Amino acid sequence: MSRCSRTLHRLFWAGCVALLLAGAVNADAAQASQTTHPSTALHGDGSTTMPQKMPPPPVLPGYHADPHIAVFGDTYYIYPTTDGSEGWASTSFSCMSSKDLVHWRNHGVILRLGVDVTWTDRNAWAPAIATKNGKYYFYTSAAQNIGVAVADTPHGPFSDPLGEPLVPRGRWPGQTIDPMVFVDDNGSAYLYWGQGNCYVVKLNEDMISFDPEGVRRITPPGYNEGAFVIKRKGTYYLMWSEYDTRDPRYSVAYGTSDSPMGPFEKADENPILKGEGMVQGAGHHSVVQVPGRDIWFVAYHRFAIPDGSGYKRETCISPMRFGPDGSIQKVNVFEPAALYPPQ
């Protein structure tokens, strides 16, 4: 992100907060001075156009996309990609942590392509993390391959145990990106990936290998990328992003199955996460459950406000709820996330 873009981004959100505070402290004074919401149009005749509904600010500063959210113990973690460059040219991965989903600590770079990973030095795209056997396994998209790194803590340092991709590009049709690992209640772990096609395979106990003969294609209708799997009350939910990430219509849909290997039947009520008003391009999500409670949150990116695009995106978190029948309810992109009471 350029210095000019960072400054514009900070000033926009600072201005929004200042205006909201000013209105709360003295609405009459604000009206007298004709202070308007950033999206309110003030016309020459003194009339105004009603402001657009204002979404909450992003949870992470600057341009970050493809957030993978997870919880280990009493701490939440986000593993995003660094955005702001044409072609998504980042070469490293970072990690943020929080106790309340609101205030985030930046742990800095946790894995560098071309340094910690020697088989490629480009395109650090959407990552994922899982834990098993007392270790943390960080799955990465790198140069359209999927790699894996291992560490003793959620924030590293991570090292590459293979020295080569876990899933090499071209081995299966579609683009080899967007890994996600789901660990079931019995300890079995499953790797999902793919753009254009969605694949699943059961990982070996070591979490860094699998039988290629076990790979299964499970592409649901409308699928583009960003597979993510959760389990609730015995039902497996496969969620994914539709349309291209540069398309304002980018959104999240889901299907269900009685097996982590599928097949998954797409739900009738979709998408469950999409843009509205000022919010555009809402997608490439991940989901986290508050430990021990039936409370869920979804992390996702949207086009940065006010100057965003498919290359300039920001990370947000909203509550995610289920209906009595187990269906995922539509996510309100104007509802901020916070733990109540604070954990």
Q: What one-character-per-residue DSSP string does 42-106 give? A: EPTTS-EEPPPPPPPPPSSSS-EEEEEEEEETTEEEEEEEE--STT----EEEEEEESSSSS-EE
What tokens were used for 258? Answer: 């009685």
- Active-site pick, 83, 160, 178, 225: 225
Task: Tell me which residue of 294, 134, 147 sits closest to 205, measured CA to CA.
Answer: 134
Q: What one-character-per-residue DSSP string does 169-211 give? A: TTSSSSB----EEEE-TTS-EEEEE-BSS-EEEEBPTTSS-B-
Separation of alpha carbons 213 and 124, rounded Å: 28
Separation of alpha carbons 2 and 15, rounded Å: 20
- Give the single-character DSSP code of 276: B
108: three-class secondary structure by DSSP: strand
Task: Tell me which residue of 171, 193, 175 sits closest to 123, measured CA to CA.
Answer: 175
- Active-site pick, 66, 83, 242, 314: 66
- Give the single-character DSSP code of 228: E
Tell me, yes or no, if 268 is annotated catalytic.
no
Tell me, yes or no, if 86 is annotated catalytic.
no
Cite the active site residues: 66, 225
